[in-house]
Amino acid sequence: MSITSTVQRGVALLLCSALTLPSFAAEKKTAEPAKPSYELPQPQRETLDLNMYQSIRQEGLAHSHVMEYASGLADGIGARLTGSPNLKRANEWTRDQLTAMGCVNAHLEDWGEFGMGWQQLNTWVRMTSPDMAVLIAQAAPWSPATNGPVTAQATVAEIKEAKDVDQYRGKLGGKVVFLGAPWEVKLVDKPLSKTLDESDLKKLEEYPLKPPSEEWRKDFTKRMELREKISKLIADEKPVAIVVPSREMRDMGATGGTFIDDSGADLNSFAYQHEHMNPVPIAVMAIENYARVYRLVKARVPVTLEMNIDTKFLGDHEHGFDTIAEIPGTDPKLKDEVVMVGGHLDSWASATGATDNGAGTVVALEVMRILNALGVKPRRTIRVGLWTGEEQGEFGSYGYVKQHFGYVPLSTAPDQIKLPEWLRKPAGPVVLKPDQQKISGYFNVDNGGGRIRGVFLEHNAAIAPIFEQWIAPLKDLGVSTLTLRHTGGTDHEAFDSVGIPGFQFIQDPLDYGSRTHHTNMDTYERLQPEDLAQAATVEAIFVYNAAMRDQMLPRKPLPHPEREEQSTSPLKNVMPGAEAEEKDVKEKLEKEEQQKQPQTPPAQEPQAPKEPAAPQSQPPQQSTPQQ
C-alpha cells in the first residue's frame, strides 16, 4: 500500500471516529449563549460609507422638507398638551405621515393611563378700575373654568413658608388672588439668542470634577409641600380665581409679553389627576402686567378685574400614546436588532410647541423621510418613537422602555409614593427584558431648534472613539464636540436607565432658554430652516451608521441606582477618637446582646412519621453553600 493510500485511509478513519464520538463537546459549546455583539471587542477603525454621507447631505440639505412638517405640526395642529384632543390629532398625523413616506408598521402604542383630558378655549383678563387695561394672560394647564366672565376685586397673598398660610384665612373669599410677589425686571442688556462658540464647546468637553448637587431635590420637595398647603387654603377660602406671575427665564427672558405657562403655575405637581386638580381657576400673567396690579394693591389702591377663563375637561382617565414606525432591517443575522431615533411630540398649551419639542419631532420625521427617499436598506431595523407625556415626567418613553426593554423598580414607601415618579428612590436593581439585548442605541433631539454641534456621551467612554470617526466628515457642518457629560430632562434618559446607549445631541441654544422654552412665544417663527435641515442630516447619518455597522454600539456597565444612596453616604468610623452616633452605638449593643444569647432551636409541632420516599429517577439537587 502506498504512503498516499495509508494517509487517505487514516484520514477516513479519523473522520468516521469524529462522527461517531459523543457530541458532548459540541453540545457544551452550543449550550453557552453567544455574547451580544456590544460585549465583543470593537474595531479600531469604523467602516464609513462616505458616498452615503454625501447622499444624505444632498437629500437633507438640498431637498429638505423639514419646515413643511414643522408648519403642519405647529400651525395645522398647534398646542399638544398631554391628554388633549390636539395631541390625539398629532399622534394620528405623525403615524399617517410616516406611512406615507414609506415606513412600515406605523401605529400608536398605549403607554398607560395619564389623567384628565383638558383644553383651553379662551382666556382674557382686564383691569376696569382704577384704569382700563388689557392684561396679557392665559390659563394654567388643567385650570378649571370661571364659567363665564367674572368681576372681582384683586388682593395679594405672599406665602413663602408654611407659617405664612394662617394670616390669609378669611381674607381671600370672593376675590382674585395675586399669588406671590413679582420678580425684578432688569434691562435686557445682551442678545436673547446665542450660538455656541469655540470656548463654549471647550467647556462642554471638560468633565466636571464636582458631582452635581442634590439639594434641588430637597428644595423641590419642600416647594411641593408648601404648594399643597396653599392649595388647601385656596380650596377652603374659595376665591374667584388665582393669578400667578410668569417665572423668570435665563438671559432675561419671560419679559416683554413673553411668559412661562407650565406645571409651575399649578398649585401642585399632579394637577392633571382628578384627585389633585386645581381647586379654582388659575391664570398665568406676563410679569409687567402682574407687577402693575401688585404695586397698586400694595399701595392700598382698590383694583377691579374682569376675567374669563374658558377651559374644558375631557375625561378623568385619558391614556397616553406614542407614535411608532419602522424601516425594516434586511440582514438575516441583524434585522431583529434595532436602532431608534425620536423626540417628544407633546407640548404645553400656551403656544404651538414649535421648539419644545416640535423641532425634535419634525427632525425625526425628516430623518425617516431622508432614509426612505434614498431607498436605504439598513442591516438593522430603524425605528422611530415620538413620545408623549414628556413634559409631565417622560411618561411615554419610560412607558415604552418598560414594556419592551426593562425598568427600575420604584419605592412605594409612604414618603415616596406621593412624589413624582422621576423623583422617587429606586427599590431594587434594574429589571431587564430579552429585547434589551437587541437594541443598539437611541438618538434624541430636544434642546430647541438649533443646529447640532456634538453629542452628550452619557459617561459612555467606549463610544467616544467611534463617534469621533463618525463626526470627522461632519466638521464642515459645525459638528465637532463630544463630551462624556450627562444631560437630563428628556427622553434618552429612559433608555439610559436600563443600560441602553441613549444620546442627546449638543445644540446651539438660540433663544430657547430666553424666549421659547415653555412660553407663549414657542411658535413656528422661532424655528430656523437651515438649522433644522442640518440637524436632520446629521441625525440621519448617525442612525444610518448605527444600523449598518457589524456590531451594536458598546455599552457602559449596567446602572445600579439602588446602590447610589449607599455609595454617596458618609463613611463610618473614619475619624480617630470620634464618638459614635447614638443610633450606631445602639445598633452595636443590640448586636452584641444577640450574640450573647444562647442559640436554642425553635419549637416544632410533633409530626406524623413520614412514609418512605418514592425512588427518585435523579439524585436530589444539593443546596448551594453560603458564601
Distances (CA, A) of 490 to 99, 343, 608: 26, 8, 63
The domain spans of the chain are 50-116+316-555, 118-201+220-312
Task: Choose the CATH number for 118-201+220-312 among 3.50.30.30, 3.20.20.70, 3.10.50.40, 3.40.50.150.
Answer: 3.50.30.30
Contact 500, 442 (CB under 8 A): yes
List Cα–Cα distances, 13 to 1, 147, 554, in angstroms: 16, 96, 46
Amino acid 592: pLDDT: 74
- Greater confidence (459 vs 612) lies with 459
DSSP 8-state class, residue 410: B
Q: Which pLDDT does position 390 carry in this prediction? A: 98
pLDDT surpasses 90 at 612: no
Show the cell assigned to 252.
432675561
Length of the chain in terms of residues written: 627
Please, which pLDDT band fits residue 362 given cuts at 50, 70 and 90?
very high
C-alpha cell at 396: 411615554
Please report the DSSP string for 448-468 in residue order.
-SPPEEEEE-TT-GGGHHHHH
Q: Assess whether pLDDT exceeds 80 at residue 99.
A: yes
pLDDT band at residue 10 using 50, 70 and 90 as cut-offs: very low
The closest alpha carbon to 12, from 22, 24, 20, belongs to 20
Distance of CA 440 to the CA centre of its chain: 19
Cell of 108: 400608536
- Label residues 556-589 b or e (16+ Cβ within 10 Å = b): eeebebbeeeeeeeeeeeeeeeeeeeeeeeeeee
CA distance 261 to 258: 10
First to last CA, the chain: 64
Q: Which residue has the higher pLDDT, 272 or 22?
A: 272
Q: Where are the beta strands (DSSP E) in 381-519?
A: 381-387, 406-407, 431-432, 439-444, 452-456, 481-483, 502-507
Q: Reply yes or no on whether the pLDDT at 15 is more than 70.
A: no
Q: Which CATH architecture has domain 50-116+316-555?
A: 3-Layer(aba) Sandwich (3.40)
**Rg of the chain over all Cα atoms, to the nearest angstrom:** 31
Q: By percentage, how much of the chain surpasses pLDDT 90?
A: 80
User: 3-state SS string over 58-72?
Assistant: HHHHHCCCHHHHHHH
**With 60 as the cut, is the pLDDT of residue 404 above it?**
yes
pLDDT for 302-357, tens place per residue?
999 999 999 999 999 999 999 999 999 999 999 999 999 999 999 999 999 999 99
138 CB burial (10 A radius; 0-12, 13-18, 19+): buried
User: Is the pLDDT assigned to residue 278 strictly greater than 90?
Assistant: yes
Paired with 452 in beta bridges are: 507
Integer Cα distance of 577 and 88 in angstroms: 65
Number of Cα atoms under 13 Å in the Cβ half of residue 194:
18
Q: What is the pLDDT of residue 98?
A: 98
CA atoms of 502 and 405, how far apart (whole Å): 13
Confidence at residue 130, expressed as pLDDT on a 0 to 100 scale:
98
Q: In whole angstroms, give the CA distance from residue 492 to residue 231.
A: 34
198/509 Cα distance (integer angstroms) = 14
Q: Which three cell numbers stand for residue 366?
A: 425628516
C-alpha to C-alpha distance for 263 and 172, rounded to whole angstroms: 23
Query: CB of 258 within 8 A of CB of 521?
Result: yes
- As a whole number, the mean pLDDT across the chain is 90
State how far the alpha carbon of 134 is from the alpha carbons of 137, 288, 290, 308, 336, in Å: 9, 12, 11, 12, 59
The whole-angstrom separation of Cα 27 and Cα 29 is 5
Phi, psi of 39 (to 5 degrees): -90, -10
C-alpha cell recorded at residue 382: 430603524
Q: How many helices (H) and strands (E) does the chain have?
A: 16, 18
Grouping H, G, I as helix, E, B as strand and the rest as coil, residue 45 is: coil
Question: What residues contact 520, with CB distance under 8 A and at least 6 apart?
Answer: 138, 257, 258, 259, 261, 350, 351
Closest CA to 341 of 558, 506, 491, 517: 491
DSSP labels, 24-40 = HHHHHHHHSPPPPGGGS
Higher pLDDT, 320 or 249: 320
For residues 316 and 486, the answer to whether their CB atoms sit within 8 Å is: no
Cβ neighbors of 426 (< 8 A, separation 6 or more) are 408, 409, 410, 411, 561, 562, 564
What is the arrangement of strands in the sheet containing 118-129, beginning at the earlier edge strand?
133-135, 118-129, 304-313, 150-157, 176-179, 241-245, 282-285, 137-139
Q: What is the mean pLDDT of residues 604-615?
A: 39
Residue 626 pLDDT: 36
pLDDT at 218: 87
